[in-house]
Chains A and B, each alone.
Chain A
């Protein structure tokens, strides 16, 4: 997972790219077998322990989801933590410090 958090004028812009197949459960292999659904259901981001972002995703989100949002009150050097869970119980957490513009 890639996270980029940049602060400018007290507003932190967060961009994230999460490698994930995001299988809808409707796609078929060449032999006709259906690929089981496998997609991220929730993404949560926190800054210094306070949750600033919570998203629910479904199979309608593209493969390798890209998400971006902004929040106020973050400072350079503070820790941006992002975690996700998928419908199979898979999960990943990553941390990245906020950088100044």
Chain B
């Protein structure tokens, strides 16, 4: 069957649309951002949205380095690490914020399971760190006192 003019035009129009769709794509190509976990407004919901219904166990093998009292909640320096072998992801949460999920780090094969980041905390609250090891989650919690909240004006 030869290419009729009508079909040819249709094909051209179709590919123009797909090019437009592709142009809007690059942002999503890097990987998928856990939008549901970041949008959750409760700590438990955020954890469930990120990891699903995996069992959580309290662990002392997760270390949280952070000031006991943070004078400025807009910049709370936090270092989290774990000595649990085989951890594939470490995430930081705090119920102080409207969106409890703060950041999530994939522990890639060559990476050490330790990261530092500066975070916002709206008020005195717990810092909750979750490490994923296979189909299991480990949790460590530490309270940080915040003198001046870091969200809002």
Contact indicator B30/A44 (Cβ below 8 Å): yes
Contact indicator A26/B152 (Cβ below 8 Å): yes
Dominant SS among interface residues on chain A: strand
Tell me which of A42, A52, A70 contacts B114 (CB under 8 A): A70
For this complex, into which size category does the number of interface residues on chain A fall?
A: 35 or more
Contact indicator A70/B112 (Cβ below 8 Å): yes
State the CA gap A70–B112 with chains docked (Å): 6
State the CA gap A89–B27 with chains docked (Å): 6
Cβ–Cβ < 8 Å partners of B114 in chain A: 69-70
Contact with A along B113-153 (1 / 0, CB 8 A): 01111111000000000000000000000000000001111
Q: Given A26-B152, A42-B33, answer yes or no on A58-B75 (Cβ-Cβ < 8 Å).
A: no
Residue of A nearest to B27 (CB): A89
Q: Which of B3-11, B14-22, B56-64, B93-101 is the contact stretch?
A: B93-101
Chain A contact residues, CB within 8 Å of chain B: 11, 24, 26-28, 41-42, 44, 47, 50-63, 65-73, 83, 85, 89, 91
